[in-house]
Amino acid sequence: MTNRVYKPLFFITLLLFIISVTATITISLKQKYQTEDVVRQATIGRGFAFVSQQLKLTPHQQEAFFELVDKYRETTDPYYQQLNSLHYEVADELNKPDPDTVLLNRLSDQISLVQAQIKKETNRHIINVKKICTSDQSAMLGQLYRSIVDESVSCRGQGQGQRKGNGKGGPRHRYRGGN
């Protein structure tokens, strides 16, 4: 008689255990993928679509804006390819037992020149975007660009846990344009 009672209880307990493990795994995976989506959206969020959205461009302005974006990408893509190639050359040289510092310095100079070209194209792009904006949108574009620069400057060179520059050696002081 006790076998008849314990057998169904065992199977019910086993079934509940399997259901709870499956639910735990499903919830964990769902949270993982949601986190990845949020990170991906945050990364995408500061791109050209974000700028278009923040400026509240009209359909006509959006068309002109994305034509400018296409032109910008066409112009800067070769620079980014060149930049990537130069970075790989630096990495390859640094991996050698006795890296050639003269070559590394020359590559660094080339990287700086390519980065300068990208910066010039970015400036040209922003000026062209301002031309299709109203005065309010133009002011907003300036604020957006400033916030992107502020983010970049405040995070540059700081590892995890050192957000304010208060790492092992104490606070770091950097010139931030007179602020």
pLDDT level of residue 3 (50, 70, 90 thresholds): low
Looking at the structure, tell me whether residues 90 and 119 fall in a common domain. Answer: yes
Higher pLDDT, 133 or 47: 133
From 39, 68, 71, select the one nearest 55 (Cα to Cα): 68
Looking at the structure, tell me whether residues 22 and 68 fall in a common domain. Answer: no
Looking at the structure, tell me whether residues 138 and 74 fall in a common domain. Answer: yes
Number of domains in the chain: 2
Residue 166 lies in a domain: no
Average pLDDT estimate for 107-124 = 95
Query: What are the distances in angstroms from CA 42 to CA 8, 19, 29, 150?
Result: 51, 34, 20, 17
What is the rounded distance in angstroms from the CA atom of residue 77 to the CA atom of residue 126? 17
Looking at the structure, tell me whether residues 79 and 36 fall in a common domain. Answer: no
What per-residue confidence (pLDDT) applies to 122? 92
Looking at the structure, tell me whether residues 35 and 74 fall in a common domain. Answer: no
- List the end-to-end C-alpha distance of the chain, in Å, as a whole number: 84
The domain in which residue 82 lies consists of 57-144
What is the rounded distance in angstroms from the CA atom of residue 147 to the CA atom of residue 94? 35
Average pLDDT estimate for 111-117 = 96
Residue 152 lies in a domain: no
